[in-house]
Structure 1
Amino acid sequence: MANRTPLFDAHLAANGKIVDFAGWEMPINYGSQIKEHEAVRTDAGMFDVSHMTAVDVRGERATAFFQKLIANDVAKLGFEGKALYSGMLNEAGGVIDDLIVYRTSWGYRVVVNAGTTDKDLAWMGKLAAEFGVTLTPRRDLAMIAVQGPNAIAKAKAARPEAAELIDGLGVFVGLPQGEWFFARTGYTGEDGLEITMPAAEAIPFWNALIAAGVVPAGLGARDTLRLEAGMNLYGNEMDDGVSPLAAGMAWTIAWEPADRDFVGRSVVEAERAERAAGSTTRLKQVGLVYEGKGVLRGHMRVATAAGDGEITSGTFSPTLQVSIAMARVPLAVKVGDAVEVDVRGTLQPARVVKMPFVRNGKKVYE
């Protein structure tokens, strides 16, 4: 039987079209994916992200635990509330999951993806025992992402008692207020908040957001928005068999100090050396823009002068009115190069661009 979030009844009340997503009954849209996408780009939209799991981590060696567990370094979190994005790697250098870690008054809070929660907790649990830390999955909580140029103002209108706290949040900072947690993070390329609350308070807050003029948005709009923003989706751009270097995540790896031996380091470090030496077999992540007929989709072959690659995610961009994609291609491929994509058996021209495609509602790709 599929799981349901605390907001399931609210989705039905808003005429959400329910689909299965990673074992959860979630809304794909509420009638118009395009309108939901546009609401986030121009005003404010909200997503139920309660299927993701917040995990609180406590213990004297919690910092050392994370320094071993993830490729980024929590020592960079210089104050309570600061957050970072990282891959959690396996011993072969593949990405078990991508996640956000917040420094908190009790230790750390990490948010993991819905489809990987069970394997993440199992993996983390093995290392937690070694470091003597405790992991507490907060399944008693719900999470709503409010995103868009007017998202923060409308979230404050819906939760006025948190207005002062929200006003003080920098980008990629999250702080608690009682059992609520307000983070200035997101997955859309727009400003906004990801707000965690007790499950029983989720529907009243959802309704308050609607009253403040925030538009409910489903998984469909979430995908087109994140793709325009050049943000990875687990299972598409990365998985247990894909390294962070091939998934465009090199910027999330903290190589210093050199003696920090995070899981998978030796393998990824050797791969980095291969790439620096001009490997002809390694792949990298790029953006593609295609202005022809048809839409770029995942798994389409990308033909380049240096060899074949593959699209990992593709869609028609509602903001740009062209088809865009993220792809893995040979290292020799450069921004501006012309490539060809196998669209229904015919090679069609596309152009390699630097991502993101859209940021804060505007075209930014080169």
Structure 2
Amino acid sequence: MAKQTPLYATHVAAGAKIVDFAGWDMPIHYGSQLEEHKSVRQDAGMFDVSHMLPVDISGAGAFAFLQRLLANDVARLKEPGKALYSCMLREDGGILDDLIVYGFATDDYRIVVNAGTADKDVAWMRAQAAKMPGGGNVTITARRDLAIIAVQGPQAQAKVWAALPGTEAVSASLKYFQAARMGELMVCNTGYTGEAGYELIFPAPRAAEIWDALVAAGVKPIGLGARDTLRLEAGMNLYGSDMDESVTPLESGLAWTVDFADPARDFIGRQALEAAPPSRSLVGLLLEDRGVLRSHMAVFTPHGAGETTSGSFAPSMNASIAFARVPVAVAVGDTVEVDVRGKRLKARVVKTPFVRKGKVLI
């Protein structure tokens, strides 16, 4: 039986089409995926992402534990609430999950992990802590008592402030990828759409109250369908599609999230990454012929074969785009061919993101 977020009844009452996503009953749309996509690009929309799991990492050994656990360097979290995007790797460099870690002190962190990998992630964290002296002197707490709503779009900030009194005072000065706490509410200047906005983390019993307040302030409910086209336009990977345990960050467009600077920081997977330079890379594709790119389509290049990992029609561009894993010799500006329903269609290799802050960059 699928799991349900604290907002499930709210989605049903709003007429959402519910689908199974990573074992959760989630809204795919509330009527028109296209209109929902446009609402986020032009105004403000919100997503129930309570299927994702916040995990609190605390204790005297928290910093040392995360330095070992994550490929990125948590020493970068110098300001309270600063956030860091990272992958959590296996010893062979395969990606267990991609996540955001928020640091409030060297003994106080919050990680938000993906829904489909949440149980596996927590088990992995606890297993790695157990291998460290004294259990790593760290406490790992899965927070299924919390809900998450993401509010995104050029008017998101103003509408969050209008809906939730007091949030302006704590969030007006937040930099991008920084969070602040307001009692039990955590306001994060992060998101998955390429637009401005916040991710709000708070006790689950408040979910319907906060959702309704945002609706009253003019924020449109958005389903997972538009969330996928928005994140693809924004050049953001999706775990399970663009990366998984079979690939490394270096062949997933995520080399920037792997910090090799400190030779003494022996994070899990480091030795494997250093021993095996990638032979493939993840690139953006813009279809130049008529058609729609989807995942798992064969890509033909002068340097060898590849495959699309995500693909869709991009409403902001009125064109079809994709990510593809191809040989490393394939470069931006190259023309490749993609097998779309038995036909080889031409596509151009482009730099991502495709769209950011409502502006088409290609």
TM-score by length of 1: 0.96
Q: CA deviation at 1:293?
A: 2.1
Residue in structure 1 matched with residue 23 of structure 2 by the alignment: 23
Q: Which one of 186, 190, 204 corresponds to residue 191 of structure 2? A: 186
SS of match in other structure, 2:337:
strand
Residue in structure 2 matched with residue 255 of structure 1 by the alignment: 260
Tell whether 2:159 aligns with 1:154: yes
Give the counterpart letter for 1:44 in structure 2.
A
Give the counterpart letter for 1:85 in structure 2.
Y
Q: CA deviation at 1:301?
A: 0.5
Residue in structure 1 matched with residue 177 of structure 2 by the alignment: 172
Question: Is the Cα contact below 8 Å between 2:288 and 2:348 reproduced in 1?
Answer: no
Residue in structure 1 matched with residue 43 of structure 2 by the alignment: 43
SS of match in other structure, 1:226:
helix
Residue in structure 2 matched with residue 278 of structure 1 by the alignment: none
Say what the alpha-carbon RMSD is for the aligned residues: 0.9
Which sits farther off after the overlay, 71-80 or 290-299?
290-299
Residue in structure 1 matched with residue 298 of structure 2 by the alignment: 301
- Measured in 1, the distance between the counterparts of 2:350 and 2:166 equals 44
Percent of pairs identical after alignment? 59
Q: CA deviation at 1:291?
A: 3.1
Q: CA deviation at 1:294?
A: 1.8
Q: Which runs of at least 4 in structure 1 moved beyond 4 Å after TM superposition?
A: none
- Measured in 1, the distance between the counterparts of 2:10 and 2:334 equals 47
Q: Report Cα offsets for 1:83-133 as digits up to 9, x if no partner.
A: 100000001100000000000245100000000001100100012232121
Q: Which one of 346, 350, 359 corresponds to residue 362 of structure 1? A: 359
Residue in structure 2 matched with residue 315 of structure 1 by the alignment: 312
Structure 1 gap segments, 5+ residues each: 276-281
Tell whether 2:226 aligns with 1:226: no
Q: Which one of 198, 202, 205 corresponds to residue 200 of structure 1? A: 205
TM-score by length of 2: 0.97
- Measured in 2, the distance between the counterparts of 1:237 and 1:101 equals 21
Tell whether 2:61 aligns with 1:61: yes
Q: Which one of 345, 350, 357 corresponds to residue 348 of structure 1? A: 345
Give the counterpart letter for 2:93 in structure 1.
G
SS of match in other structure, 2:326:
strand
SS of match in other structure, 2:276:
helix
Which sits farther off after the overlay, 103-112 or 2-11?
103-112
Residue in structure 2 matched with residue 328 of structure 1 by the alignment: 325
Residue in structure 1 matched with residue 11 of structure 2 by the alignment: 11
Q: Report Cα offsets for 1:298-343 as digits up to 9, x if no partner.
A: 0000000000000000000000000000001111111000100001
**1:50-199 equivalent positions in 2, closer than 5 A:** 50-105=50-105, 107-129=108-130, 130=132, 131-199=136-204
- Measured in 2, the distance between the counterparts of 1:230 and 1:62 equals 31
Q: CA deviation at 1:270?
A: 1.6
- Measured in 2, the distance between the counterparts of 1:49 and 1:344 equals 33
Tell whether 2:242 aligns with 1:245: no
- Measured in 2, the distance between the counterparts of 1:350 and 1:240 equals 28
Q: Report Cα offsets for 1:238-290 as digits up to 9, x if no partner.
A: 10111101111000011010111000101111223xx5xxxxxx110100001
Q: Report Cα offsets for 1:69-93 as digits up to 9, x if no partner.
A: 0100001111110010000000110
Which sits farther off after the overlay, 323-332 or 125-134?
125-134
Residue in structure 2 matched with residue 279 of structure 1 by the alignment: none
Structure 2 gap segments, 5+ residues each: none
